Amino acid sequence: MSDILERTLAGLRSALAVTPDNGPLRLQVAQILAELGRHNEAVEAARASLPHLDGEEAQQAQALVERLAPEPEPEEELAALADLDAVRRGGLVALKGGSEETELLALEPNRQTVDFSDVGGLDALKETIRMKIVLPFQQPEVFQKYGKSRGGGILLYGPPGCGKTLLARATAGEVGATFLNVAIDQVLDMWFGQSEAKLAALFEEARRLAPAVLFFDEVEAIGANRQQIRHGPGRTLVNQLLAEMDGVDSANDRVLVMAATNSPWHVDSALLRPGRFDRVVFVPPPDEVARSEILRLQLRERPVQDGIDLRPIVARTDGMSGADLADLVERSVEAPLREALRTGTARDLTAADLQGALGTTRPSTAGWFETARNYAQFANADNLYDDLVAYMDAANKRSGGKRRWWSFRD
Ligand SMILES: Nc1ncnc2c1ncn2[C@@H]1O[C@H](COP(=O)(O)OP(=O)(O)O)[C@@H](O)[C@H]1O
Ligand SMILES: [Mg+2]
């Protein structure tokens, strides 16, 4: 019997080769494949026949697909959910597991091993965070007593590579909280309503994992969500974030909201009003003491010659960010590493290695200040950039009137 079927199948297939758009023929192929127990191929053939069929035959093809199509893998099912009408289900999908959205949530939901001792410099800022965030978070009763239970968040801004992300992570470490690192572009979704659902799911997840620090990196991107704007009067993602933040009772929920940006002037101003990211804090490039600390931190895990004097090196790193310093150390080990590979013996890192790397490491913060000073000068109506202005003024004074890249007097 199956012999005959096989032969018929072969015949139909060669016919199809010349008339590929013949729907009824395809359907017949599908039915024979089904009869032969070759279900996957049958489903494939029935699907291929659908565009070329209508009426009863189309229904037959559809029925065959439905009868024989394998149960979707959980992951596919979730993906399908995410594609369709995701407004409501998005949140669910995000929490269920296995989907892209879960990865978003699983970005870094871990207890932090990094704390303030891993952050070089920034002493005043650490103190601010301790007083305004860490202590109230650790003693919610005191917080509540003074009626300060509602959320609000802290926004860190400054040149790239100066420790904003590190500081947020370290804040989580200080309070023994889970750190959820969210990149806005991963929240953004082309599907209407899906971004909002993801955001809601994130806050939900943060509550579930509490105590938690929910950190929005590159938060300026949230206002630049053109898709939302195109969708007209619907609630924007900015509004959704505001609503979610309003819904956080930091004392009860034990969720802290933090954010960072390199371009605060692009952050939607609605996010900066009282009760929102109302503490806007400048994270400056490391000063001499901080640079020395950061260098030490970066050298911690490397074999370094005893008694090495870092001062002359630190003196040559003005304008470098913490990331630049990390880069400097990375470059400085290249020479001894090459030597070790060649000679078979590993020697310690020397001051000369670091000096050598200085020649190829450029301070990266100057460009940022070029841009920032315009905003600090002309867009500081809300005194948002006061600490930036103070920083630039002080730097000017220190330079003794020499014209610097952040000079206001040119
Ligand atoms: N203050 C600092 N102390 C120690 N390391 C720092 C500091 N600032 C930057 N770094 C180093 O540079 C890297 C990048 O810093 P990051 O926090 O991502 O900067 P930002 O978020 O401001 O762009 C860090 O992972 C760390 O290795
Ligand atoms: Mg960062």
Q: What is the CATH number of the domain that holds 297?
A: 1.10.8.60
Indicate the residue among 243, 258, 282 that finishes a domain. 282
The CA distance from 164 to 261, in Å, is 8
Any domain includes 82: no
Do 392 and 284 contact (CB within 8 A), yes or no?
no
Any domain includes 407: no
Token output for 161: 């590579």
Rounded distance from Cα 104 to ligand 2 centre (Å): 17
Rounded distance from Cα 258 to ligand 2 centre (Å): 12
Q: 0.75 exceeded by the pTM?
A: no
Any domain includes 340: yes
Any domain includes 79: no
User: Does residue 175 sit in the same domain as residue 196?
Assistant: yes
Residue carrying the six token digits 């930091």: 250
Q: How far is CA 87 from the centre of its chain?
A: 22
User: Does residue 125 sit in the same domain as residue 272?
Assistant: yes
User: Does residue 159 sit in the same domain as residue 245?
Assistant: yes
**Residue 15 belongs to a domain with what CATH number?**
1.25.40.10
183 lines ligand 1 (CB under 6 A): no
Domain region containing 372: 366-398
User: Does residue 207 sit in the same domain as residue 276?
Assistant: yes
Do 357 and 332 contact (CB within 8 A), yes or no?
yes
Rounded distance from Cα 58 to ligand 2 centre (Å): 55
Number of domains the chain is built from: 4
**Residue 209 belongs to a domain with what CATH number?**
3.40.50.300
User: Does residue 292 sit in the same domain as residue 274?
Assistant: no
How confident is the model over 108-166, as pLDDT tens digits?
A: 656 668 999 999 999 999 998 888 778 877 777 776 666 555 556 889 999 999 999 99
pLDDT for 233 beyond 50: no
Any domain includes 409: no
User: Does residue 156 sit in the same domain as residue 131?
Assistant: yes
The H or E element that residue 105 is part of is: helix 100-105
How confident is the model over 158-206, as pLDDT tens digits?
A: 999 999 999 999 999 998 999 999 988 888 776 777 888 888 999 999 9
User: Does residue 128 sit in the same domain as residue 28?
Assistant: no
- Indicate the residue type of 42: A
Give the atom of ligand 1 at the shortest distance from the alpha carbon of 323. 12
Any domain includes 75: no
Residue carrying the six token digits 């003005």: 318
User: Does residue 276 sit in the same domain as residue 306?
Assistant: no
User: Does residue 275 sit in the same domain as residue 292?
Assistant: no
The CA distance from 135 to 244, in Å, is 23
Q: Whose C-alpha lies nearest to ligand 1, atom 13?
A: 323
Within 13 Å, how many C-alpha atoms sit on residue 374's CB side?
6
Cβ-based neighbour number of residue 342 at 10 Å: 8
* Coil/strand/helix, residue 182: strand
User: Does residue 204 sit in the same domain as residue 338?
Assistant: no
User: Does residue 123 sit in the same domain as residue 214?
Assistant: yes
Sorting pLDDT into bands at 50, 70 and 90, what band is 95?
very low
Indicate the residue among 282, 298, 313 that finishes a domain. 282
Give the atom of ligand 1 at the shortest distance from the alpha carbon of 156. 22
Pocket test for ligand 1, best of 166, 219, 327, 368 (most atoms within 8 A of CB): 166
Helices (H), 188-318: 194-208, 226-230, 237-247, 250-253, 288-299, 311-315
User: Does residue 18 sit in the same domain as residue 45?
Assistant: yes
